[in-house]
Amino acid sequence: MTTLSFHDVSLRYPARKGASEGQTPLVLDQINLSIETGEFVVVIGRSGSGKTSLLNLAAGFLPPSGGRIAVDGTTVSGPGADRAVVFQDDALYPWLDARDNIAFPLKLRGVPEAVRHTRAQELLDVVGLTDAGRRRISELSGGMRQRVGIARALASDPLFLLLDEPLGALDAMTRTRMQGFLLDVWSKSRAGALLITHSIDEALLLASRVVVLSANPGRLAADIQTGFAAELLGGASVAQVKASPLYKRMHDGLTGLIHSISEDTEAAA
């Protein structure tokens, strides 16, 4: 088991050149959070609460202003193959076909072409795109692109998958299908997942833990264990899970919490 951990992490973005003196606002304040491999942690919070910033810190794209981020005790000082990122706008390379997009992280690591292609084809099978490997990115639908993005993230066998609203741009039906798919792929990968969403349903259906972030500055407002994803993986349908009284209670509870946090921050502003 490996742990990705935030220890008293705070973040301020640097002031822009030529900006007036004084500190920029605190974006994240004293974040303490651990994600273990095999866990699916979903971060939810209103727009601007610092979710993407949190993910960029975990990815090593940004240094924290205070505190420390570590993987099994070793401080994160930049991006690494142990932490793969899936962005909201798939961020694929348009000049490469689906297979070469997936194989790209392996190419960077000097993996021979034949091995790369075999692994990419395996991953195309995993994400249900067996016959789409030679298609250009522009020829794929939004859902297919997201699956290529997820396959590319899986190519380096990461310990942690960091997903920033990966399904946000999809229509409701495709999104529901992709949630099931993501849960399935994750459970087979044994990786730890950190996923950001605005959707309370998505959080409850995918998470083993839901973390709520308050805004201005972003602070952890709640950290809740959930078991609905385990029920889905055990064969329950989404409709069955959503119909349970516990699901409704948790949905109402999270909705109330997010609203009350928003009202608090607006009142303080």
Q: Which does 253 bind (CB under 5 to 8 A by kind): ligand ATP, Mg ion, none?
A: none
Q: Which helix (H) or strand (E) holds 222?
A: strand 219-225
Q: How far is the CB of 127 from Mg ion (least distance, A)?
A: 24
Which positions ≥6 away from 162 have C-beta within 8 Å? 55, 58, 59, 83, 84, 85, 86, 193, 194
Q: Where are the beta strands (DSSP E) in 58-177?
A: 66-71, 74-75, 83-86, 160-164
Binds Mg ion (CB under 5 A): choice among 5, 52, 156, 197: 52
Would you tell me which residues interact with ligand ATP (CB under 6 A)?
A: 13, 27, 45, 47-53
Q: Which is nearer to ligand ATP, 51 or 99 (CB)?
A: 51
**φ, ψ for residue 83 (rounded to 5)?**
-130, 110
If DSSP codes are grouped into helix, strand and coil, which group holds residue 38? coil
**φ, ψ for residue 149 (rounded to 5)?**
-60, -40
Q: How far is the CB of 54 from ligand ATP (least distance, A)?
A: 7
Q: Does 156 bind Mg ion (CB under 5 A)?
A: no
Which two structure tokens, joined as six digits, stand for 59?
Answer: 């990815």
Q: Does 53 bind Mg ion (CB under 5 A)?
A: no
Q: How far is the CB of 31 from ligand ATP (least distance, A)?
A: 12
Q: Does 197 bind Mg ion (CB under 5 A)?
A: no
Q: Which is nearer to Mg ion, 52 or 214 (CB)?
A: 52
- Report whether 39 contacts 186 (CB < 8 A): no
- Report whether 246 contacts 87 (CB < 8 A): no
Q: Which does 197 bind (CB under 5 to 8 A by kind): Mg ion, ligand ATP, none?
A: none
Q: Among all residues, whose Cβ is closest to Mg ion?
A: 52
How many of the other CB atoms lie within 10 Å of CB of 23? 8
Q: Which does 47 bind (CB under 5 to 8 A by kind): ligand ATP, Mg ion, none?
A: ligand ATP
Q: How far is the CB of 188 from ligand ATP (least distance, A)?
A: 28
Q: Which is nearer to ligand ATP, 51 or 152 (CB)?
A: 51
Residues that bind Mg ion (CB under 5 A): 52
